[in-house]
Amino acid sequence: MYIPFDQLPPQARLWIYQANRPLTEAEQTEIKPLLERFATDWSSHGRGLQASAQLLHKQFLVLANNESATAASGCSIDKSVNFVRELEQHFNVAFFDRTQLAFLKDGNVEMVGMQELKAKVAAGEIDENTLYFDTLVNNYGDLQAEWPKPARQSWLSRYF
């Protein structure tokens, strides 16, 4: 069962997939109905999930499930991963590259490779107040309250 993204309860579980590039307007227009269809049909052991899906900042695919209604099972999570992999192929974009970090700078998402991080911190291009898109946020309430958040409030704090 599809739930509009802004109507999810705070405890709804999230899976955030970060694209390696911004999606074009045409791609966003094409992907939105696919996301809604997937959320509508997403199930766990034959029981429909109270699910939603959303694109944020042109670069983040967020799948969500109200776990208090029906928990996602391993099989249903596998279905979601397969769905995201299909999107990767169709749109020629990578959603599973964990070597890139995303920051909000001047209103835009800036991608920084893990291998570049120390140099960017040393040069002052990234500091403790730079807003970081932590893809490990796992519930809707935290996404609403603190996403993106200052790098010092994330696992990146060790670099400052």
**pLDDT tens digits, residue range 27-51?**
999 999 999 999 999 987 877 888 9
Residues 6 or more apart whose Cβ sits within 8 Å of residue 69: 49, 50
Assess whether pLDDT exceeds 90 at residue 68.
no
Which value, in Å, is the radius of gyration of the alpha carbons in the chain?
Answer: 16
Assess whether pLDDT exceeds 80 at residue 101.
yes
- Counting every residue written for the chain, the total comes to 160
Looking at per-residue confidence, does 42 or 132 come out higher?
Answer: 132
Residue 48, pLDDT score: 81
The answer to whether residues 95 and 63 touch, using CB atoms and an 8 Å cutoff, is no
Assess whether pLDDT exceeds 80 at residue 70.
no
Among residues of the chain, what percentage have pLDDT more than 90? 84
Looking at per-residue confidence, does 100 or 76 come out higher?
Answer: 100
What average pLDDT does the segment 136-148 reach?
A: 95
- Model confidence band, residue 20 (pLDDT cutoffs 50, 70, 90): very high
- Model confidence band, residue 72 (pLDDT cutoffs 50, 70, 90): confident
Residue position matching structure tokens 């993106």: 148
Q: What's the predicted TM-score (pTM) here?
A: 0.92
